[in-house]
Structure 1
Amino acid sequence: MKMGVGDPKVRTGILVVVGLVAVCASLPVWAAEPAASEPLEEPPDLFAADVIVSATRTPTSIGNVNQSVTIVTEEQIQQQIAASPGRSLSQILPKLVPGLSQNDGSMDSGTSQTIRGRQIAVLIDGVPQLSSPTVQFDLAHIDPSAIERIEVVRGATAIYGNGGTGGLINIITKQAGEGKPSFHTEVQGSGSLTRVLRGLSGTVVQGFQGKKDWFDYNIVGSFNQQGGMFDAEGSRTMPGTNGVGGFADTKTYNILSKFGATFGEHRLQLTFNRKESRQDTNYVVDPNVDTFPRTTARFVPGLALDEQPKLVNSQVSVDYSHPHLFLDSRVHIQGYYRNQQTRFPTLDDRLFGGTDIVQGLVQTDVLGTRAEITTPIPVYGKPQVTWGMDFSSQHGVQNQNLYNPTIFDATGGRVFTKTGQNQLLPARVFQSAAAFAQGEWTPISALVFRGGLRYERLGISSSDFTDSLGTSSPASSIRFDATVFNAGFVYHLNDPLDLFFNFSQGFNVPVGSIDGALSVTPGTAIQLTKLQPQRVNNYEVGLRGKWSKVQTSLSGYISKSSLGLAFDQFTNSLHRAPQTIYGVEATLDVQPYEGWRIGGTYTFVEGDQTISSNPDVRVPINGFNIQPQKVTGYLEYLAVPEWQWRNRLQVLYSASRTRSLTAFTTGLDPSGDPFSMREYFVVDFMSTVKAGPGTLRFGIENLLNQKYVVAFNQIQSLNSFNYAARGATVTIGYSMTY
């Protein structure tokens, strides 16, 4: 569905943004300027290596955060791109972040990807990207070329509201420039080593930034043409084609523009980001493969489908900030509008009891505001409180294209003849209003206490609706209250070593994911059960050390939910059941000699839940939430410092997991894994070196050319969903700033 300026929702979004600009512009008049004799404390550098914003919604030293956090820098992202032809954050981050499960190879991030076995809340510059808890493209909403850094907070958090039951990923885009205009150009090409000269891909990035007096700007545009993908044996593979959209044979555009105005300590900033991905392929999964014994999916030419998968995400936000406003408070106010349009791959609904060949079409519009104020309290221990309010209104419409099943069958699943379109679910509005406060107190220099509270009022409503069979359902609505809190401390045992403990709650409302949840009579038991928020209690204890040549962390956690979310692939539905998830995470980075780095991460996560048929029996949670143990490691060497020639060899080991399979084969859990998760070992190599005025990048993904299937895909009941991963693929790129 296309939207023009005349569309009412677009007009409303424009009015909200314009109104916020007007309010922010007037704030300098209201602000009381500090006396000239009172020296102002310099605000912390928001992008310093040891400062994190996402955990507390205000700049805070990592050493004072009582949670497990990871900061991924722009340098790390650029290095990983050298061995990631798809430029996919959902594939890059699991190699760097413990607790984050692996992506299934598609452009989607939510279906297969979790933190600590639970849902991830993804933000871009603080703007929530959540549209549905079962089909999320959140990490696909921005190209790496537009990113300054990524902050990952592991463990339940509700400081940003609905969604973060497992953790939070805040993507912070590139900041405005300094001084005279400068330009950045980047080109990159890649190709399969198992099918040379087939499936060539390329990327072009162009950016420019600068500052003139009070005005600054940064604009970055990128274009990526991804060709075919091939496995270790040279066979075509297209992960995500039958699920939520793959990277193979896609064209992707991304534009980030950021404009800022600074008057004294008052700053106003306008940010726009749009990313569009479209697939255009001649290949389709062979439906006959599902009649074979267990094997990987295979792909055949001859696809005739006019409307292929696409993903378009547009976001505009306006931010006002001041480091010393009333009561010497740090103030940040944001207004945003986001539009997401998704066209999914086709799906043979007959495999799940339906009668049609369908293709989902989803549009989501979100309007929101955020305000956070950090106020110091002039008493013993220098406490400070970050407080504020959030509001968002999300409108979603889900339609579907229908295709002729007779022609589909007669052509071996290759030809799709559209017969019509209908509305799959009633239009839904999801509104949220919340107030929060987060405090920090340092009674002695070695001890930091932190705690907070958030109250959120959620409303879900649907319009009158008549389905394709003529069955009508009246408009309905439901309201929920959610109050969550967190508390913990950091104790500095000695100069390099910190002990931390954290209790935190998170919640999630499964709106948009359960068919018919708003089609029943308001207030009935089935509606309340399906839509009641999932509340998660997370307990975590950990150690964090930072010596001159060694940096390490170790944490253990347990999270409980009396109304968890579990996906059943056999009925294509969500189940609500009590769940307990527990695990251990560790990181280690060592610089043994000058120019050398070595390190890695370890992730262990497991979980159990009750089942509806026998509440007294607990079974392992299936692989849609829980993935096997993960070990990553790297060895890095700066060979020639004057050339900045850096080489990195990195590995990822995914262990086996059979617990859910055992529950399935013994009949304890009919929604368990029908297959085991088998172990695999993947090696990447990347090298960067200064060449002329710029930097040359070279990398090989899957250096040993291992044939493997990502853990999540191994448990799929159908062969057509059991995709092989990409084989050895080489990437060469060059970038320069001038």
Structure 2
Amino acid sequence: MHTPLIKFPLYLAILTVSNQLLAEEQSPTDTQLDKQVITATRTVEGLASLPYTVQIIGQDEIAQQATPGQELGSILGQLVPSLGAGDNSVSNYYQSLRGRGVLVLIDGVAQRSNRGVSRQLSTISPSSIERIEVISGATAIYGAGATGGVINLITKKASEDGLNFHTEIGMTTSTEDLDSDNHTYTLVQDIAGKFDKFDFLAGISLEQRGNYVDSNGDQIATDPNQLARDNTDTLDLILNAGYQISDTSKIRAGIQYFDEEMDTDSAADFGTPSQAYLGLPQGVIGKAGDYKPQPIDGLDLNQQPATNRQSFTVDFSEENFFGQSLIAQASYRKQDLYFYPYLGAPLYIQTDWNNAASLLGQGASTSEALFGSSTAGSTITQSRIETTTLDFKIALDSQFDIAGKKLGLTYGFDYIQDTGNQTSTEYNYNEYLASGQTTLNETGTVVDAGPETDTTTQAAFLQAQFAPIDALTLRAGIRYEMIRAEVDDYVSGDDVLNAAFYNSQLEDPTLQALAGQNGMTPNQFLEYVTGIEATALQGIGADRYIKYSDTVATREGGKKTFDDTLFNVGAVYDIDQTQQVYLSFGQGFSVPDITRLLRNVSIFTDNADAKPVLESKNIDAIKTNSWDLGWRGQFDSIEVSAATFFNSSDKSIYFNPTTGEAELLNQEEEIWGFEGLINAYLTDTINTGATYSYTRGKTRGDEGGWVSLPAERVAPQKITAHLGYQMPGIFNMRLQALHLSDYKEANREGNSATMVPFVGYTTFDLLTSFELLKGRLAVSIRNLANKEYQHLYNQVRGYPSTGVSSDLPAQGRTLSMNYSIDY
């Protein structure tokens, strides 16, 4: 049970704040075509000149959505049309942008690493963000990884002269169970100063989340897969400081420390042991009928799941560097990530050899004796990922006059050094099972979960912009990128764990005696017995996991280089002063997670031939081509945009839902869709708006035909809508809806056991705020109708890759209160 981080009595504090209201003028025209963005071309430019689908989310909109406990992925899923909906987890893996991966930046620094862990949107608190810029569509301007687009999170900076403070305190509770164990508490404190040439902002955000509760008032079980953010403690510290060196030059430094760790007494539920599975938890092999995971009290785990990120960034700008503008940036980032201990392959048959010998002596058949004396066993391991990234970028911007027309050139160089490794700590499986899945004691064995990988990226780029006439802006660019990957020698963790178990069996004197009676060596006899058992377990699909080996091989590491030249071109045409059309083509480039691809390499996948590890799997870069045709306009009090898109790639990553292995396939992928957005201010007090996105995709199947991509790749059709009412300076209200449609295309065309259909849902939120004599009070209700549903991830991954453990409901209705004040 949590000890509240925030001991101040929140109920009393919020309800006794003065209800005297003050007026504050609000403008209904927050979105203009000339808003400035900094992500699309590496320089500061107006939205009106960009041939991309661009969305800017301001601080007021972020603050309105950022109720206590609400994570950034869900906020963006509500506001960005073509981004998948959030799921209140630490991972944004299932949030594709136009069916592809998204590159997340913080203050222009790419948060990617050579370990593709999708926690970028959960390693910064919404309270630390001043503005969000979203560019949809493949782009190589920021390097590898942006095959679906870019999300740039811009942190808060000092904006007003003198010393200023901002304080927030808030709480969220389930309306279905008001117990304090289900509360979330938030405390935010910012201090900002601006004095002559120097400015700074220091901020701290503390958040403590309790249990998540479903629409029936029941606690939601711990999620060991994506890791929901229930029962976590979060600390986010930021420090931004800038100094104006001269009229044309400035230096800025930023530090962030983010730490989040689960603190729960509830163990994850993989299913109760089942006789049909020889004593394995029901969810290890496949989904167990209508079994629903339950919270299991009494978790004993020293290292609970955690995310720790430390970063330091320095920016230098000079507006007159030999007649050019110069921007240079250096950054260092370190991450340390822990996951929940996880059951997985290899599986074993644990045999009581004395009992087997007794049954054989009584005339039982070999099969009867073995299965009458055996139970299934598994491994349970906890993954840890450590990454270190050094990033340096430099860009110069030049302006030339050609016959009275301006030609802009932006060019520069990027250098990134990235190191990543993953290990797995083994826990005692028998103790874990005997305790009812609650006790996790380390065995002392730590194995590699893929080889350690170092990557060095070097890239040079050139972007040009030219306006031949006032109404037309042309843009084109080229980028050459080279990524060198160096992989260490690798000893497969599967091999180590498999050999350790079977070598312990070989030492059993009764097994040795039985082997002699059958004219075999202990190794031959155990391999023979394992084969019998695996064959007998074909009916439940366990045979693929149960294989005999007492061998541990070292696979030689190596080096591999990936490089490509990438192009982009686009045009923006002003129909008139209120609307534009644009067309663009861009190429993206990504290198898959090498460590992840090689994790499951073992003596079995190599067919006993331990070749160099880089030769064990298909490893290559993926190139994406993206086309974007759009229209946008600002008509008095109406903002509207629409775009159609198409992207294709020559390869695809496939995650086997049965074995959990990742593979790079030389199969084409094509994704297409449409997105639109409208915001309208009907009167001075009433506003409304909606977004729409439709994405579909297909890939080449094994037999050459096209097969639809599953829902985890191409987000289901999404519609959002809102209706707002504001009394300037007094009251603000927003009623919003999010609808996801059913998605069954992949289920119709693929294996119904692995291509699970997605069942859509609709949720409503009510967000309100009141301007007080001092400060602001926000009261919000999420899932207003208390809808019972499951997030996309919990539906499509619930069977059979992770068994019952991910088959979890979404949160029911919650009530949030948040008080903030600037002084």
Taking structure 1 as the reference length, the TM-score comes to 0.88
Q: Which moved more, 1:216-225 or 1:373-382?
A: 373-382
- Partners of 1:518 and 1:170 in 2: CA distance: 36
- Partners of 1:359 and 1:103 in 2: CA distance: 25
Which of 314, 318, 321 lines up with 2:317 in the alignment?
A: 321
Counterpart for residue 208 of structure 1: 191
Counterpart for residue 412 of structure 2: 388
- Partners of 1:436 and 1:120 in 2: CA distance: 20
- Partners of 2:34 and 2:72 in 1: CA distance: 20
| Greater relative contact order (Cα < 8 A, sep 6+) | 2
In the alignment, is residue 403 of structure 1 matched against residue 427 of structure 2?
yes
Quick check: which has more Rg, 1 or 2? 2
Q: Deviations over 1:57-85 (max 9, x none)?
A: 11111111101111111111100013xx3
Q: Deviations over 1:650-692 (max 9, x none)?
A: 00001001111112247xxx8x51x211111000001111112
Instruction: Tell me if structure 1 keeps the 8 A contact 2:33–2:46.
Output: no
- Partners of 1:48 and 1:463 in 2: CA distance: 50
Which of 146, 155, 158 lines up with 2:137 in the alignment?
A: 155
- Partners of 1:308 and 1:315 in 2: CA distance: 23
Instruction: Tell me if structure 1 keeps the 8 A contact 2:114–2:453.
Output: no
Counterpart for residue 714 of structure 1: 795
Q: Deviations over 1:623-670 (max 9, x none)?
A: 2211210000000000x3232x1000000001001111112247xxx8
Counterpart for residue 22 of structure 1: none
Counterpart for residue 337 of structure 2: 342
Which of 675, 682, 685 lines up with 2:766 in the alignment?
A: 685
- Partners of 1:552 and 1:522 in 2: CA distance: 55
Counterpart for residue 642 of structure 1: 729
Q: Deviations over 1:150-200 (max 9, x none)?
A: 101111011000100011101011123432111111101111001112411
Instruction: Tell me if structure 1 keeps the 8 A contact 2:312–2:332.
Output: yes
- Partners of 1:386 and 1:168 in 2: CA distance: 19
Counterpart for residue 73 of structure 2: 90
Counterpart code for 1:374: D
Q: Deviations over 1:121-152 (max 9, x none)?
A: 00101111112575310011211111110101
Which of 586, 592, 599 lines up with 1:504 in the alignment?
A: 586
Paired residues in the alignment total 676
Percent identity between matched residues is 28
Instruction: Tell me if structure 2 keeps the 8 A contact 1:72–1:151.
Output: yes
Counterpart code for 1:343: Y
Taking a change above 3 Å as real, the CA distance of residues 498 and 297 of structure 1, as seen in their structure-2 partners, is: farther
Instruction: Tell me if structure 2 keeps the 8 A contact 1:250–1:280.
Output: yes
Where 1:498 maps in the other structure, the secondary structure is strand
- Partners of 2:649 and 2:115 in 1: CA distance: 16
- Partners of 1:299 and 1:570 in 2: CA distance: 25
- Partners of 1:715 and 1:351 in 2: CA distance: 24
Counterpart for residue 4 of structure 1: none
Which of 619, 630, 634 lines up with 1:546 in the alignment?
A: 634
Counterpart for residue 466 of structure 1: 491
Counterpart code for 2:779: F
- Partners of 2:239 and 2:492 in 1: CA distance: 42
Counterpart for residue 480 of structure 1: 562
- Partners of 2:217 and 2:270 in 1: CA distance: 20
Counterpart for residue 557 of structure 1: 645
Q: Structure 1 unaligned runs (5+)?
A: 1-46
Taking structure 2 as the reference length, the TM-score comes to 0.80
Which of 609, 617, 633 lines up with 2:721 in the alignment?
A: 633
Instruction: Tell me if structure 2 keeps the 8 A contact 1:460–1:479.
Output: yes
The structural deviation recorded for 1:203 is: 0.7
Taking a change above 3 Å as real, the CA distance of residues 695 and 366 of structure 1, as seen in their structure-2 partners, is: same
Counterpart for residue 515 of structure 1: 598
- Partners of 1:96 and 1:104 in 2: CA distance: 14
The structural deviation recorded for 1:286 is: 2.3
Which of 607, 610, 616 lines up with 2:697 in the alignment?
A: 607
- Partners of 2:393 and 2:732 in 1: CA distance: 42
Instruction: Tell me if structure 2 keeps the 8 A contact 1:623–1:712.
Output: no
- Partners of 2:748 and 2:316 in 1: CA distance: 55
Counterpart code for 1:286: D
- Partners of 2:465 and 2:662 in 1: CA distance: 38
Counterpart for residue 65 of structure 1: 50
Counterpart for residue 188 of structure 1: 170
Q: Which moved more, 1:346-355 or 1:654-663?
A: 346-355
Counterpart for residue 527 of structure 2: none
Taking a change above 3 Å as real, the CA distance of residues 50 and 262 of structure 1, as seen in their structure-2 partners, is: same
Which of 699, 722, 730 lines up with 2:780 in the alignment?
A: 699
Taking a change above 3 Å as real, the CA distance of residues 456 and 517 of structure 1, as seen in their structure-2 partners, is: farther
Instruction: Tell me if structure 2 keeps the 8 A contact 1:540–1:557.
Output: yes
- Partners of 1:714 and 1:87 in 2: CA distance: 21
- Partners of 1:355 and 1:676 in 2: CA distance: 29
- Partners of 2:292 and 2:601 in 1: CA distance: 38
Taking a change above 3 Å as real, the CA distance of residues 521 and 160 of structure 1, as seen in their structure-2 partners, is: farther
Counterpart for residue 528 of structure 2: none
Taking a change above 3 Å as real, the CA distance of residues 134 and 488 of structure 1, as seen in their structure-2 partners, is: same
Counterpart for residue 447 of structure 2: 422
The structural deviation recorded for 1:287 is: 2.2
Where 1:349 maps in the other structure, the secondary structure is strand
Where 1:712 maps in the other structure, the secondary structure is helix
In the alignment, is residue 376 of structure 1 matched against residue 399 of structure 2?
yes
Taking a change above 3 Å as real, the CA distance of residues 301 and 50 of structure 1, as seen in their structure-2 partners, is: same
Where 2:160 maps in the other structure, the secondary structure is coil
